Structure 1
Amino acid sequence: MYTLGQAAKEAGCSKATISRAIKNGKLSASRLEDNSYQINPAELQRWVDSNGHRNSKMKQIATQDETAETPRETSGLQVELEALRQIADDRQKTIDDLRQRLDAESEERRKLTAMVTDQRQPPKGFWARLTGR
């Protein structure tokens, strides 16, 4: 059985939070003659599991030592990440090359269109200009 302080430490929250949970009926506890509480570990665990999103202990981010990944797994992931970055770089180079080709072909098409649609009369010779024909 836990005291209020022990339960708070185990749950990773304050004594006031545990006391409030008891008063609100969310956590069962026995009251002793000296007005202290006695909390069953199983009951505390039930409360922690049902209120984990509010529990500061549950909010802690796992450190590298606490994760299940080994250095070998991590290095494998790093190799895979590097391979994916290389693929992304290659795709970007391909996209840039295709854009450059498209721009060059568009410019060439504009020039050819201008040449085909330019149907001005050739300049008139001296006699045609003189006579107005």
Structure 2
Amino acid sequence: MTQLRTVQVLGGGSAGSSAHVRSLTAGLVARGVRVTVCAPDPLERLYDFRGCGADHVPVARRGDPLSLGALRAACATADVVHAHGLHAAVRAAVALGGQRVPLVVTWHTRVHADGPRGHLLRLLERRAVRAAAVV
């Protein structure tokens, strides 16, 4: 039997979601799951995902082709991708486009806005939800 592989994707990495990913990662690694955390370098320095047994792929909190390419490469052999937050969920959905890898999305917080920004946020939420196997 092959080892299960999961990729955890962080966007901005608020203290709550970063601590959650650190705890989740430690638990998964302890159960024999291979974990890769895709997050900006400053979050690795603060939360030491490698210290609990995960691989770390530095992915900037941007939607540019270089960042999306790095995310897509990290997710290519994953059994499941777990995105934490709206920004991470949308970037993971774009990176996984065309791949048959289940996407799990966790909303740690929800931004409420009116007007054009609110409309954009609702569009992004719908994009993430449609791509997700579980929200």
Tell me the TM-score normalised to structure 2 length. Answer: 0.27
Tell me the TM-score normalised to structure 1 length. Answer: 0.28
Higher relative contact order (CA 8 A, sep 6+): 2
Pair member with larger Rg = 1
User: Larger % of strand: which?
Assistant: 2
User: Larger % of helix: which?
Assistant: 1
